[in-house]
């Protein structure tokens, strides 16, 4: 036990003896972790946006005014049996009317005409969600060719426009993902080089002590251990700093994000904040792994035990 | 205690450190290894503590064949041999007691044992009153005594001293030699590597003389020949 405690004590001593180098190393590793996290954050935002847009897509089928709500319900039950249909929501005639009114501004000509008409001119409808984007076209075709074709007054084909947007977004996200991989590798290499250099300097500044350690019978583990501890402190310190930078940025940007994604189920800030310990854990793990790889390389190169 | 059988040590570009050296040092002996610069004295000391490996031949220390000693076994060997160098090798930011304790700390000794042993060895070398001073606050002779104290903490059966008086005036040098003799009287084998004629002649103990990597004389109660 005292053996491990001493290794940690010497590691912490080494950290303090080169405090400025330690702080600069932490800062640069933190900067790299922050940039990597930001890229992953953008990726997450893109994925959430894509999912939210996909969730919004549906195929609307509206029936003639003579079709009853019960009949729409029966058709809906029947269409649920179709392959690729995920969910069907029935819009009653009344609901259809209310939705129409809600979509118009007060004093609109259409609303005035509706009042003059004195009755509900809308038929019921179905809002169909498919299991995949590609399935909407086939479902629309099957409905148009099916036994209920004569009852259909209008089919909303918004999914065609949305599909184009989604394809563009998907292509953009794929590009972002490729860039993420390369940038993450680049930042990892920078962080590794930084810690490598810090450990190299620490080894150089403690060469006298290391020589004496070896002379009086210190084991390899005892000579190398403190440098591992120092590197771990760099990694964990960088993770703490990165998390400390990320939190206020998210807090500040949350209202703007909420406003931008109003109506969509996108909550990057909420996702990060509710998983803050996981975020910190991942940062600490990434920082520590980078630090350990670097220190091992530096020790292999400069520490002959 | 120490056995060299036809040991040769070649450095880069075939520079000869030692060539076909055979010797036996028995337990409890006090042996001086003498010779001019480049004669192979320090190479011999480094081979004993496994800081260098022989190119040819066989080396046995304390019954342990260290000719092909494994890397991870070196610390175990070093804990059984006390080593004293000319340049002291003390840590300037540690007190004398901390410097001595350091040898026990790195070997994983428990704190209680360290607290018990350190004052004892400092007493043996006569520095118990100065244990809280730093190396630069004591004389060169006292620094060398701290190094000897540090070498003694593992209660070694063998003490290798490579030019321990090299940086000291004659009075301090004699004090260090007297201390080494005292340690030898307690049963520790002492190998003294030196080129100090005065010291060697005053000892009247076994002297092995090296020249260009060869043993040219091995006297049971000898003098400095060169």
Structure tokens at B161: 């001293």
- Residue B177 pLDDT exceeds 70: yes
**What mean pLDDT do residues B157-174 have?**
89
Q: Nearest by CB to A211, which of B76, B89, B108?
A: B89
pLDDT-derived band at A139, boundaries 50, 70, 90: confident
Specify if A203 maps to a domain: yes
**What mean pLDDT do residues A185-211 have?**
87
**What mean pLDDT do residues A181-203 have?**
88
Specify if A33 maps to a domain: yes
Contact B108 A214 (CB under 8 A): no
- Residue A305 pLDDT exceeds 60: no
- The residue length of chain A stands at 305
Claim to verify: residue A7 and residue A106 sit in the same structural domain = no
Q: What angle do CA A161, A45, A37 make, to 5 degrees?
A: 150
Q: By the 8 A CB rule, do B136 and B86 touch?
A: no
CA A143 to chain centre: 37
pLDDT-derived band at B4, boundaries 50, 70, 90: very high
Nearest to A13 by CA among B57, B91, B28, B211: B91
Whole-number percent of chain B with pLDDT over 70? 99
- Residue A265 pLDDT exceeds 70: no
- Residue A272 pLDDT exceeds 80: no
Q: By the 8 A CB rule, do B191 and B48 touch?
A: yes
CA gap A251, A265 in Å, rounded: 18
Specify if A147 maps to a domain: no
**What mean pLDDT do residues A91-118 have?**
83
A123 or A46: which carries more pLDDT confidence?
Answer: A123
Q: What is the pLDDT of residue A263?
A: 67
pLDDT-derived band at A266, boundaries 50, 70, 90: low
Contact B106 A213 (CB under 8 A): yes
B189-223 residue pLDDT tens: 999 999 888 888 888 899 999 999 999 999 888 77
Structure tokens at A238: 């960088």
Q: What is the pLDDT of residue A304?
A: 66
Claim to verify: residue A196 and residue A285 sit in the same structural domain = yes
Q: Nearest by CB to B91, which of A3, A209, A220?
A: A209
Strands B158-162 and B189-194: parallel
What does the radius of gyration of chain B's CA atoms come to, in whole angstroms?
Answer: 17
Q: By the 8 A CB rule, do A41 and A242 touch?
A: no
Q: Is B85 left (phi over 0), alpha (psi -120 to 50) or beta?
A: beta
- Is residue B44 less than 8 Å (CB to CB) from chain A? no
Claim to verify: residue A91 and residue A209 sit in the same structural domain = no
- Residue B105 pLDDT exceeds 80: yes
Residues 201-260 of A with CB under 8 A from B: 208-209, 211-220, 222
CA gap A157, B14 in Å, rounded: 88
Q: What is the pLDDT of residue B1?
A: 86
| Average pLDDT of chain A, as a whole number | 84
**What mean pLDDT do residues A205-214 have?**
85
Q: Which helix or strand (DSSP H or E) is residue A72 part of?
A: helix A69-79
pLDDT-derived band at B54, boundaries 50, 70, 90: very high
**What mean pLDDT do residues A59-74 have?**
89
Claim to verify: residue A42 and residue A80 sit in the same structural domain = no
CA gap A256, B102 in Å, rounded: 59
Q: Residue B216 phi/psi, 5° resolution?
A: -105, -15
Q: What is the pLDDT of residue A270?
A: 76
**What mean pLDDT do residues B39-47 have?**
93
Q: Which helix or strand (DSSP H or E) is residue B160 part of?
A: strand B158-162
Q: By the 8 A CB rule, do B148 and B183 touch?
A: yes
B120-145 residue pLDDT tens: 999 989 999 999 999 999 999 999 99
pLDDT-derived band at A203, boundaries 50, 70, 90: confident
CA gap B209, A229 in Å, rounded: 47
Q: By the 8 A CB rule, do A37 and A184 touch?
A: no
Specify if A137 maps to a domain: no
Q: What is the pLDDT of residue B162?
A: 92
Specify if A117 maps to a domain: yes
What residue ranges do the domains of chain B occupy? 90-155
Domain of A79: which CATH number? Answer: 3.30.70.3040
Burial class (CB in 10 A: 0-12, 13-18, 19+), B105: buried
- Residue B49 pLDDT exceeds 80: yes
Claim to verify: residue A40 and residue A168 sit in the same structural domain = yes
Claim to verify: residue A50 and residue A66 sit in the same structural domain = no
Specify if A293 maps to a domain: yes
Provide long-range contacts, Cβ within 8 A and 24+ apart, for B196-201. B196/B163, B196/B165, B196/B166, B197/B224, B198/B170, B198/B173, B199/B32, B199/B165, B199/B173, B199/B174, B200/B32, B200/B34, B200/B224
A86 or A114: which carries more pLDDT confidence?
Answer: A86
CA-based end-to-end distance of chain A: 23
A140-166 residue pLDDT tens: 888 888 888 888 887 776 667 777 777
Claim to verify: residue A98 and residue A65 sit in the same structural domain = yes
Q: Nearest by CB to B89, which of A3, A215, A217?
A: A215
CA gap B100, B118 in Å, rounded: 6
* Residue B115 CB contacts under 8 Å (≥ 6 apart), including other chains: none
Q: What is the pLDDT of residue B226?
A: 66
CA gap B142, A80 in Å, rounded: 96
Highest-pLDDT range among A110-114, A201-205, A261-265, B209-213? B209-213
Confidence (pTM): 0.69
Q: What is the pLDDT of residue B97?
A: 95
Domain that holds residue A103: 58-132
CB atoms within 10 A of CB B170: 11
| Average pLDDT of chain B, as a whole number | 91
Q: How many alpha carbons lie under 13 Å from residue A182 in its C-beta half-sphere?
A: 6
Claim to verify: residue A68 and residue A22 sit in the same structural domain = no
**What mean pLDDT do residues A33-44 have?**
85
Contact A213 B110 (CB under 8 A): no
Specify if A159 maps to a domain: no
Claim to verify: residue A36 and residue A181 sit in the same structural domain = yes
Claim to verify: residue A233 and residue A252 sit in the same structural domain = yes
Claim to verify: residue A47 and residue A68 sit in the same structural domain = no
Q: Nearest by CB to B110, which of A2, A211, A219?
A: A2
CA gap B20, B22 in Å, rounded: 7
> Which residues on chain A are in Cβ contact (under 8 Å) with B91?
208-209, 212
- What domain count does chain A have? 2
Claim to verify: residue A74 and residue A196 sit in the same structural domain = no
Structure tokens at A152: 């259909």
Q: Which helix or strand (DSSP H or E) is residue A90 part of?
A: strand A85-91
């Amino acid at each position: 036990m005292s053996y491990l405690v001493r290794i940690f004590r010497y590691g912490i001593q080494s950290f303090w003896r080169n405090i400025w180098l330690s702080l600069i190393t932490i800062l640069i590793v933190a900067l790299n972790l922050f940039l990597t996290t930001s890229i992953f954050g953008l990726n997450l935002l893109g994925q959430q946006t894509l999912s939210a847009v996909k969730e919004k897509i549906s195929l609307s089928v509206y029936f003639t005014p003579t079709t009853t709500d019960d009949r729409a319900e029966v058709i809906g039950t029947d269409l649920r049996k179709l392959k690729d249909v995920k969910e069907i929501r029935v819009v009653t005639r009344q609901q259809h009317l209310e939705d129409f009114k809600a979509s118009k501004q007060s004093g609109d000509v259409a609303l005035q005409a509706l009042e003059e008409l004195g009755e509900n001119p809308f038929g019921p409808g179905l809002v169909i969600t498919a299991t995949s984007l590609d399935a909407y076209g086939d479902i629309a075709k099957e409905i148009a060719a099916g036994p209920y074709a004569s009852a259909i007054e209008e089919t909303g084909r918004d999914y065609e426009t949305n599909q184009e947007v989604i394809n563009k977004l998907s292509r953009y996200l794929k590009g972002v993902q490729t860039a993420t991989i390369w940038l993450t590798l680049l930042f990892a290499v920078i962080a590794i080089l930084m810690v490598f250099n810090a450990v190299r300097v620490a080894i150089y500044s403690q060469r006298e002590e290391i020589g004496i350690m070896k002379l009086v019978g210190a084991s390899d583990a005892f000579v190398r251990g403190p440098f591992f501890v120092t590197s771990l402190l760099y990694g964990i310190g960088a993770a703490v700093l990165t998390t400390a930078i990320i939190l206020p940025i998210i807090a500040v940007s949350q209202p703007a994000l909420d406003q931008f994604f109003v109506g969509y189920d996108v909550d990057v800030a909420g996702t990060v904040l509710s998983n803050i310990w996981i975020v910190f854990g991942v940062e600490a793990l990434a920082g520590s792994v980078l630090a350990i790889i670097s220190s091992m390389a530096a020790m292999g190169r400069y520490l002959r035990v | 205690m120490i056995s060299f059988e036809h040991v040769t040590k070649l450095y880069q570009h075939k520079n000869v450190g030692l060539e076909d050296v055979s010797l036996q040092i028995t337990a409890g002996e006090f042996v001086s290894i003498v010779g001019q610069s480049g004669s192979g004295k320090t190479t011999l000391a480094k081979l004993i503590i496994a800081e260098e490996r022989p190119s040819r031949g066989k080396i046995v220390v304390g019954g342990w064949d260290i000719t092909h000693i494994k890397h991870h076994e070196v610390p175990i060997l070093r804990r059984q041999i006390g080593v004293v160098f000319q340049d002291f090798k003390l840590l300037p930011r540690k007190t004398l007691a901390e410097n001595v304790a350091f040898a026990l700390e790195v070997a994983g000794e428990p704190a209680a044992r360290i607290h018990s042993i350190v004052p004892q060895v400092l007493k043996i070398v006569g520095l118990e009153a100065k244990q809280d001073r730093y190396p630069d606050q004591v004389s060169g002779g006292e620094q060398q005594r701290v190094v000897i104290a540090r070498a003694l903490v593992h209660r070694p059966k063998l003490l290798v001293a490579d030019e321990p008086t090299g940086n000291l005036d004659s009075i301090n040098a004699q004090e260090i030699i007297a201390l080494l003799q005292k340690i030898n009287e307690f049963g520790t084998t002492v190998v003294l590597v030196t080129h100090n004629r005065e010291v060697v002649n005053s000892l009247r103990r076994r002297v092995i003389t090296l020249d260009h990597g060869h043993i040219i004389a091995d006297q049971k109660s000898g003098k400095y020949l060169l």
